[in-house]
Every structure is written in C-alpha cells, then in structure tokens.
Amino acid sequence: MYTVIGNARTRAFRILWMLEELGVPYTHIPAAPHADEVRSHYPAGKVPVLIEDGTALTDSTAILTYLADKHSAFTFPAGTLDRAHQDGHTQFILDEMDALLWTAARHSFILPEQDRVPDVKNSLKREFVHSLERLQQRLGEGPYLMGDTMTIADILAGHCSRWAENAKFPDAPAPLQVYFERLRNRPAWQRAGQT
C-alpha cells in the first residue's frame, strides 16, 4: 500500500494522477509543504513524499520513474532507445517548463520578500512561449510525446500545463491545447484532482 503526502495543488498531483492511472490502492495525506506530517518523513518539508513499506521516497520525477518501472506501465523499459527518448522529453519538461514555473513561484511567494525579484516573471513568461513551441515540435503528430504510448513524460507535461494556467503563464498554441485537453480529460486526471 502506498501513502502519498502532499496536497493536490502541488507536484503531489503528479503522483496521485499516476496512481489513479495505475489503478492501485493508496492513502492520501493532503498536507501542505512543511506541515509536521511532511517533515516527519522528509526534514526538507517538500512534497510530494511517497511512503512504501515505511520507506519515504522524495522528488516527483524519481517517484514517477520508480512507479512506472515497478508496474511496467507508462514507461519504456530501461536500457532501450525508446527509454532514452522518453527520458529526453522528461528532462526537457523539467528544464524548460518546471524550472521556469518554479522560479516564478519562488519569486512570488516562496522566497523571503527581500529576495524576490518580481520583474523576473516577465522574462520567464517570454521564455515559456519558446518552451511551448519546442514541446509542440516534440509532440509532432502525437497523440502523446512518445507517439501512441502515454508515458510519465506526458504526466509531467500535463501537470505543468495546469500549473502554467494557474500561474497565468502564456497560453499554449492551439495544437498543444488539444494535447493538454486530451490529458485533462482522462478519468484518472479527474479522479486525482478530486482526492
């Protein structure tokens, strides 16, 4: 049995969505970052944390990769060329979407006020437009980044699309919107949002 710590408005949503896609049972503790339930497993206070058999796993992409490998789903096998391409998409999303959104969040409400540089957000938003263009090139004909097979790279992209919307980042071009809608219309996405 898995336990997911972290509320669905954070990167914990990625893990909730993945577990819903896998159809495996789990318990959800919708704690905010730095809550006692988080710190008792991960002193840094960051979410998500996944507990399995008393072991705490951290960092959403590492957790997704673990779950995908363990359940042989939403991934190509390690050591294959397909996996190398899939991992390239994952790294792209972390570098060119997650990092921009996270930096904007830090300069909005995470950093102490005296360390925030609000103007950096305009630069990040402009950069994000190029990230979306590059994501569209990677998607090609789709329907998923790896063609007919949905992988954890799509889970990261889908989550970042919602995050971008909430952060009022630029909208995706129309073909990419169709892809994001495809992800959001998955029953597992909707179940994960409701937990």
Ligand X SMILES: N[C@@H](CCC(=O)N[C@@H](CS)C(=O)NCC(=O)O)C(=O)O
Residues in contact with ligand X by CB under 6 A are: 10-11, 33, 45-48, 59-61, 110
Closest CA to 176 of 149, 156, 158: 158
| Cβ nearer to ligand X, comparing 132 with 167 | 167
Compute the least distance from the CB of residue 34 to ligand X, in Å: 6
Q: How far apart are CA 22 and CA 188, in angstroms?
A: 9
| Cβ nearer to ligand X, comparing 62 with 78 | 62
| Cβ nearer to ligand X, comparing 10 with 90 | 10
Q: How far apart are CA 144 and CA 157, in angstroms?
A: 10
Q: How far apart are CA 161 and CA 155, in angstroms?
A: 10
Compute the least distance from the CB of residue 153 to ligand X, in Å: 14
Q: How far apart are CA 54 and CA 176, in angstroms?
A: 40
4 DSSP β-pair partners: 28, 50
Compute the least distance from the CB of residue 173 to ligand X, in Å: 26
| Cβ nearer to ligand X, comparing 36 with 141 | 36
Compute the least distance from the CB of residue 46 to ligand X, in Å: 4
| Cβ nearer to ligand X, comparing 33 with 158 | 33
**C-alpha triplet 106, 134, 141: angle, nearest 5°:** 130
Compute the least distance from the CB of residue 9 to ligand X, in Å: 8
Q: Using an 8 Å Cβ cutoff, are 150 and 22 in contact?
A: no
Q: How far apart are CA 116 and CA 105, in angstroms?
A: 10
Tokens linked to 168: 């009022």
